[in-house]
Structure 1
């Protein structure tokens, strides 16, 4: 078949058009997987880098490698007479420079080894006393990483400058500014060594470890819980019929793409995926949950074809989007919307942060450690976090897709109101779940310790100041009842049991009081009250 001139001219155009279409589809696929939720993905990547012990030291080594040739180049262009006028600048010959650089390189490398040994010893002690999950807090301590990085960065810098020292005239063979900077860095490293020892002494204190875990939990609470209720979102939930009807749609089970711990959920990517396939994605797992590749972690509910949400505002009248069943592209995109790890790592999960504080308390109550004061400190820190959660607005399990506004509203021929479309339903833990997995876990290990049980009772009354509804009151009363039952069944002496029961009864009356949030709760036992009355009588 002969090819005409017109066909020859159209062939490059068709090849270019086909290539552009393929590139467009490729960009569209990967933009949905990587560009959507880009801040969350970058933050997740940054957390992984910070969580590794090598990132900051490696950056310091690279900095030292880059600074060495930079200072040497400046030395070659700098006026030597001006260097001699600087009082603290090095002005010796090549032998002195070589001796100084050799001493600095050997000294900082030896100190770096000592620093690493101290860090390993602290990690070993922290693992046995506070639990292995707290090791990340020590590994991600930027102060420790920077101190180690400063030592090995100075070592790398000194080696490269030592290589540039030649046995020639002093004015040309000795990089005086480079040697001066190395001396300054050696002094800085000596100060950093003192700071490192002082920092490690404070870092291994139980109160400091608990405070760090509490700060992480508060940061995660601020990330998930909002100050105010979003009225627009509540309006969408109330006026969306899909919230009540999606269970009746055709459902496709969603299996975990891999085994491991769910570390990150990219909501915008899931919302876009659900909208493109005309349905609703429901997840049954939450952050931190462990699943296997055979677990059903959710369902995809496909909307009926005639559903009003399938009509899009376009220039073509009554143009409908036909819902699609999940295909290969769907599963590829879904796998990119979730991030799994074979081992539990740091996430912005509130339960994981509270679990660190709980683990410290549980280990403190073990017979090998037997430190109830630390457990009480953990209970007080958990009270701070739970009180903050009670006062703030919890995250909603419903996530909507809002159609974008058209630039030219006059071209819209479909008279459809612009409403939010339900696209994603997640599993959101309740405040009762957090109380059960934090205070409840400590209660189960402190069943025979009156000090910790009374601290838990005090924590429940403190949380009562932050409650905002009757459901939260019932949760606090249930936890108070469990504390009372634990003491009745396990305390050794009758007097201890009666003391705990009396405190629980006063706390229960306090929580039932509608005006309790404007009163001060203080438990005074019968024995203390008797002594108080006798002292008042004698003072008269």
Structure 2
């Protein structure tokens, strides 16, 4: 197969473009405009590294490459008589050392291939049973990466130690400590193989996968939702700009490219708005797909006579005058939003909840037909949603608070706090999360009484965590939809009557004043008849 000069030239051009883009991203990471969001950017970079299957094994290989010459050097300066006093240390000749290192290198490499084959088989099964979105949970499983890294790290270490064994150098030809460490690592690898098999058996269980997805969702919920209400932020929201900025001159904002929105760096956006004197409103959420022609928000320019345009700066009597967005504005805005070509893991709550929803939907498919797994997903989703209902949701309003002057007292700073509206984001409501998680399961479980009754019980359980009447109305609306889905899709009238009776009892329970202090126990008409008959006989 021949490659012409044009193909080689295009290959070099593509390679050069990729290298330039990587260097540009690295330069943007350390630019002055993005230093305020540097922890978030580094965290995203770390998640990308952990999400790749090569990072930890590569680190283990590097450790093995560094340990081999280090231990060989220590061997050359170590007293051999002291080594012989160690009972478990290797004290053989060079032929025995070479045989042991060859056996260890060959064995661990073969076992590494076996573990890799098992991992590929598990990934294939997880993709078909749980969904392709769950593959990242298996790839980022740290124990799996550590086991594979220990095997190939021991292999690279054994090869380098084997190279340092010399046949005719009697004094320093056999690195006894290095060979002893290789034997210890071989025993550790044997134990890790047993642990790997046991770990994979538990990892492919549906309950374990659901629990990991639930823990990931709870982590993201705590990242966005607060445990208490920020009183000062509530006072800032009363600023007149919150109601009036929609009347300012506006300009549509377009994304820099097509893809999925993975991260919005708010601190960089706030800095950008202050440099151009305006407010940025974002209408999209994390995980949304946009094209380069989509309008994802607006930039509202502050009027020239606005009081916030006359701020004290480092230069006395220098006014910050609003200016229209230019080319630099759009370049900086492109650095404030992270867009990927594929949907990857991020701090998106909807993405984490969608993993459990996808497991439930696949479990309800005719090919799998596992309603118990769907019920487990409903219960895990209920736990996550109840935490969201009890916590303080994130505010869509983000302000720029100038640093106070050094000559101002603390009392004056508190009294004259200046908060300038900078960014307005779109925050999903709890009803949106319920509709995209439990509501999606309801649409696929319309003909399964077990899952529908589990959804009714989920509404009752969520009622214990509600804090306002809007959440109560959301739960009642969802119960109505569950009841209607059963009426139109259940096969037998008895099943429909059972679901309707449970839905009505759940509605009455939610509407009662002391519902959050009572226990809900659904009793069907048949069970009530049996209980009454048993009580009559006992008399």
Shorter-chain TM-score: which interval?
over 0.9
The CA deviation at 1:534 is 1.1
1:75 matched residue in structure 2: 75
1:268 matched residue in structure 2: 267
1:186 matched residue in structure 2: 186
1:236 matched residue in structure 2: 236
Is 2:403 the counterpart of 1:404? yes
Is 2:482 the counterpart of 1:483? yes
1:328 matched residue in structure 2: 327
Is 2:149 the counterpart of 1:149? yes
Number of equivalences:
508
1:224/1:394 contact within 8 Å kept: yes
1:365/1:446 contact within 8 Å kept: yes
2:523 matched residue in structure 1: 524
2:294 matched residue in structure 1: 295
Alpha-carbon distance in 2 for matches of 1:534, 1:170: 94
Alpha-carbon distance in 1 for matches of 2:538, 2:325: 83
Is 2:81 the counterpart of 1:56? no
Report the secondary structure of 1:399's partner residue. Answer: strand
Q: Note the 1:110-509 alignment, pairs <5 A.
A: 110-238=110-238, 240-314=239-313, 319-409=318-408, 417-509=416-508
2:15 matched residue in structure 1: none
Alpha-carbon distance in 2 for matches of 1:315, 1:354: 47
Report the secondary structure of 1:287's partner residue. Answer: coil
Alpha-carbon distance in 2 for matches of 1:29, 1:384: 37
2:28/2:34 contact within 8 Å kept: no
2:446/2:486 contact within 8 Å kept: yes
The CA deviation at 1:409 is 4.0
Q: Deviations over 1:148-183 (max 9, x none)?
A: 000000000000000000002443210000000000
Q: Note the 1:507-518 alignment, pairs <5 A.
A: 507-518=506-517
1:32/1:272 contact within 8 Å kept: no
The CA deviation at 1:285 is 0.7
Alpha-carbon distance in 2 for matches of 1:315, 1:284: 34
TM-score (norm 1): 0.92
The CA deviation at 1:59 is 0.1
The CA deviation at 1:31 is 3.5
The CA deviation at 1:28 is 11
1:260/1:343 contact within 8 Å kept: yes
The CA deviation at 1:34 is 3.0
Q: Deviations over 1:47-91 (max 9, x none)?
A: 000000000000000000000000000000000010000000000
Gaps of 5+ in 1: 1-26, 411-415
1:21 matched residue in structure 2: none
Report the secondary structure of 2:296's partner residue. Answer: strand
2:245/2:300 contact within 8 Å kept: yes
2:225/2:388 contact within 8 Å kept: yes
Alpha-carbon distance in 2 for matches of 1:363, 1:445: 9
The CA deviation at 1:310 is 1.0
2:28/2:335 contact within 8 Å kept: no
Structure 1 residues 171 and 315 mapped into 2: Cα distance closer, same or farther (>3 Å)?
closer
The CA deviation at 1:536 is 1.6
The CA deviation at 1:135 is 0.2
1:80/1:171 contact within 8 Å kept: no
Alpha-carbon distance in 2 for matches of 1:198, 1:109: 20
Gaps of 5+ in 2: 1-26, 410-414
Alpha-carbon distance in 2 for matches of 1:539, 1:144: 59
Alpha-carbon distance in 1 for matches of 2:54, 2:408: 55
TM-score (norm 2): 0.93
The CA deviation at 1:33 is 3.7
Report the secondary structure of 2:172's partner residue. Answer: helix
2:33/2:271 contact within 8 Å kept: no
The CA deviation at 1:328 is 1.0
Q: Deviations over 1:211-254 (max 9, x none)?
A: 0000000000000000111000000001x111001111110111
1:443/1:483 contact within 8 Å kept: yes
Q: Deviations over 1:434-468 (max 9, x none)?
A: 00000000000000000000000000000000000
Alpha-carbon distance in 2 for matches of 1:418, 1:519: 46
The CA deviation at 1:408 is 3.1
The CA deviation at 1:313 is 2.5
Report the secondary structure of 2:406's partner residue. Answer: coil
1:32/1:269 contact within 8 Å kept: no
